[in-house]
Protein backbone atom coordinates (compact mmCIF):
# COMPACT_ATOMS: atom_id res chain seq x y z
CA UNK A 1 0.00 0.00 0.00
CA UNK A 2 1.21 3.44 -0.91
CA UNK A 3 0.05 6.84 0.26
CA UNK A 4 0.60 10.13 -1.55
CA UNK A 5 -0.52 13.68 -0.85
CA UNK A 6 -1.99 15.67 -3.75
CA UNK A 7 -3.45 19.11 -4.34
CA UNK A 8 -6.51 19.03 -6.60
CA UNK A 9 -7.76 22.14 -8.37
CA UNK A 10 -11.34 22.07 -9.55
CA UNK A 11 -12.24 24.64 -12.16
CA UNK A 12 -15.73 26.13 -11.80
CA UNK A 13 -17.36 23.61 -14.17
CA UNK A 14 -16.11 20.47 -12.42
CA UNK A 15 -16.62 21.47 -8.80
CA UNK A 16 -19.84 19.46 -8.72
CA UNK A 17 -18.43 16.22 -10.13
CA UNK A 18 -18.39 13.29 -7.66
CA UNK A 19 -14.75 12.38 -8.35
CA UNK A 20 -13.97 11.01 -4.90
CA UNK A 21 -16.79 8.52 -5.30
CA UNK A 22 -15.20 7.19 -8.51
CA UNK A 23 -11.76 7.05 -6.90
CA UNK A 24 -13.19 4.72 -4.27
CA UNK A 25 -15.51 2.72 -6.48
CA UNK A 26 -13.53 2.35 -9.72
CA UNK A 27 -9.94 2.65 -8.57
CA UNK A 28 -10.02 1.09 -5.10
CA UNK A 29 -8.39 4.13 -3.59
CA UNK A 30 -9.00 5.49 -0.13
CA UNK A 31 -9.07 9.29 -0.40
CA UNK A 32 -8.61 11.21 2.81
CA UNK A 33 -9.52 14.87 2.42
CA UNK A 34 -7.11 16.94 4.50
CA UNK A 35 -8.29 20.43 3.55
CA UNK A 36 -10.82 21.99 1.27
CA UNK A 37 -11.10 25.53 0.06
CA UNK A 38 -13.75 26.83 -2.30
CA UNK A 39 -14.00 30.35 -3.62
CA UNK A 40 -15.77 32.01 -6.52
CA UNK A 41 -13.35 30.79 -9.21
CA UNK A 42 -12.24 27.36 -8.17
CA UNK A 43 -12.14 24.72 -5.50
CA UNK A 44 -8.99 23.28 -3.98
CA UNK A 45 -8.70 19.96 -2.17
CA UNK A 46 -5.67 18.59 -0.39
CA UNK A 47 -6.04 14.80 -0.27
CA UNK A 48 -4.10 11.72 0.72
CA UNK A 49 -4.67 8.94 -1.78
CA UNK A 50 -4.08 5.49 -0.37
CA UNK A 51 -3.86 2.37 -2.54
CA UNK A 52 -1.34 0.44 -4.62
CA UNK A 53 1.14 2.56 -6.56
CA UNK A 54 -0.48 1.41 -9.80
CA UNK A 55 -3.97 2.32 -8.65
CA UNK A 56 -2.76 5.76 -7.58
CA UNK A 57 -1.24 6.34 -11.04
CA UNK A 58 -4.49 5.30 -12.72
CA UNK A 59 -6.50 7.50 -10.36
CA UNK A 60 -4.32 10.47 -11.27
CA UNK A 61 -4.95 9.86 -14.99
CA UNK A 62 -8.68 9.64 -14.30
CA UNK A 63 -8.63 12.96 -12.45
CA UNK A 64 -6.75 14.68 -15.29
CA UNK A 65 -9.33 13.35 -17.75
CA UNK A 66 -12.03 14.95 -15.62
CA UNK A 67 -10.37 18.35 -16.04
CA UNK A 68 -9.10 18.41 -12.47
CA UNK A 69 -5.71 20.09 -11.97
CA UNK A 70 -3.52 17.81 -9.91
CA UNK A 71 -0.08 18.24 -8.40
CA UNK A 72 1.86 16.34 -5.81
CA UNK A 73 1.78 18.38 -2.61
CA UNK A 74 4.94 19.72 -1.06
CA UNK A 75 5.51 18.43 2.46
CA UNK A 76 6.12 21.67 4.26
CA UNK A 77 7.01 25.33 3.98
CA UNK A 78 10.04 26.64 5.79
CA UNK A 79 10.28 30.28 6.77
CA UNK A 80 13.80 31.56 7.16
CA UNK A 81 13.45 33.77 10.23
CA UNK A 82 16.75 35.52 9.45
CA UNK A 83 15.40 36.77 6.10
CA UNK A 84 11.80 37.38 7.17
CA UNK A 85 11.13 40.99 8.16
CA UNK A 86 7.52 40.39 9.28
CA UNK A 87 6.22 42.66 6.56
CA UNK A 88 3.07 40.57 6.10
CA UNK A 89 3.01 40.62 2.27
CA UNK A 90 2.65 36.85 2.13
CA UNK A 91 -0.52 36.93 4.21
CA UNK A 92 -2.23 38.88 1.43
CA UNK A 93 -2.20 35.91 -0.95
CA UNK A 94 -2.80 33.16 1.60
CA UNK A 95 -6.52 32.53 1.22
CA UNK A 96 -6.89 29.83 3.89
CA UNK A 97 -5.04 31.98 6.44
CA UNK A 98 -2.13 29.59 7.02
CA UNK A 99 0.14 32.64 7.05
CA UNK A 100 -1.14 35.27 9.44
CA UNK A 101 0.16 38.45 11.08
CA UNK A 102 -1.16 40.60 13.92
CA UNK A 103 -3.10 41.58 15.92
CA UNK A 104 -0.69 42.01 18.84
CA UNK A 105 2.98 41.32 18.17
CA UNK A 106 2.77 41.61 14.34
CA UNK A 107 5.11 38.66 13.93
CA UNK A 108 4.41 36.27 11.07
CA UNK A 109 2.85 32.96 12.12
CA UNK A 110 2.56 29.87 9.91
CA UNK A 111 0.05 27.11 10.51
CA UNK A 112 0.84 24.08 8.31
CA UNK A 113 -2.55 22.54 9.12
CA UNK A 114 -4.30 25.28 7.15
CA UNK A 115 -1.92 25.33 4.14
CA UNK A 116 -3.37 24.18 0.82
CA UNK A 117 0.05 24.26 -0.88
CA UNK A 118 -0.94 26.80 -3.52
CA UNK A 119 2.61 28.19 -3.31
CA UNK A 120 1.44 31.74 -4.03
CA UNK A 121 3.38 33.00 -1.02
CA UNK A 122 6.73 31.81 -2.40
CA UNK A 123 7.08 34.49 -5.07
CA UNK A 124 5.12 37.05 -3.10
CA UNK A 125 7.61 37.16 -0.26
CA UNK A 126 9.88 40.12 -1.12
CA UNK A 127 12.81 38.83 0.93
CA UNK A 128 12.53 35.27 -0.45
CA UNK A 129 12.19 33.95 3.08
CA UNK A 130 9.72 31.16 2.26
CA UNK A 131 11.02 27.92 0.80
CA UNK A 132 9.13 24.75 -0.09
CA UNK A 133 10.21 21.39 1.25
CA UNK A 134 9.42 18.25 -0.74
Partner 1 sequence: MAVKKTYEEINEKIRRGEAVVVTAEEIIGIVNDEGVEKAAQKVDVITTGTFGPMCSTGAFINFGHSDPPIKMTKVWLNDVPAYAGLAAVDAYIGATELSETQGMNYGGAYVIEDLIAGKNVKLEAEAYGTDCYPRKDIVTYISKDTLNEVYLFNPRNAYQNYAVAVNSSARMLYTYMGTLLPKLGNATYCSAGQLSPLLNDPFYRTIGIGTRVFLAGMQGYVAWQGTQFNPQQTRSENGVPIGTGGTLALIGNLKDMNTEFIRAATFHNYGTTMFVGVGIPIPVLDEDVVEKASVSDKDIYTTIVDYSVPQRSKPNFGKVNYAELRSGKIEINGKTVRTAPISSLNKARKIAATLKEWIKQGNFFLQQPVENFSLDQTFKPLEIVTEEEI
Residue 123 contact among ligand SF4, partner 1, none, beta carbon within 5 to 8 Å by kind:
partner 1
Q: Would you give the end-to-end CA distance of the chain in angstroms? A: 21
Nearest to residue 84, comparing CAs of 128, 22, 122?
A: 128
- H/E stretch holding 31 reads strand 30-38
Residue 42 in contact with residue 10, Cβ under 8 Å? yes
Task: Label residue 47 left, alpha or beta by phi (over 0 means left) and psi (-120 to 50 means alpha).
Answer: beta
User: CB-wise, 25 or 81, nearer to ligand SF4?
Assistant: 81
Residue 115 contact among ligand SF4, partner 1, none, beta carbon within 5 to 8 Å by kind:
ligand SF4
- Taking CB under 6 A as the criterion, the residue among 11, 85, 106, 123 binding ligand SF4 is 85
Stretch that binds ligand SF4, among 3-11, 47-55, 64-72, 80-88 (CB under 6 A): 80-88
Per CB under 6 A, does 108 bind ligand SF4? yes
**Rounded Cα gap, residues 107 and 85, in angstroms:** 9
User: CB-wise, 43 or 57, nearer to ligand SF4?
Assistant: 43
Residues that bind ligand SF4 (CB under 6 A): 77, 79, 84-90, 93-94, 96, 98-99, 108, 115-121, 125, 127, 129-130
Amino acid sequence: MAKKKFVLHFPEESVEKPVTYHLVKDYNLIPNILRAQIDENEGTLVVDLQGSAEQIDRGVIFLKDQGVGIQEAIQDLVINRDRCVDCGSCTGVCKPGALAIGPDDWELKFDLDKCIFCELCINTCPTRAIKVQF
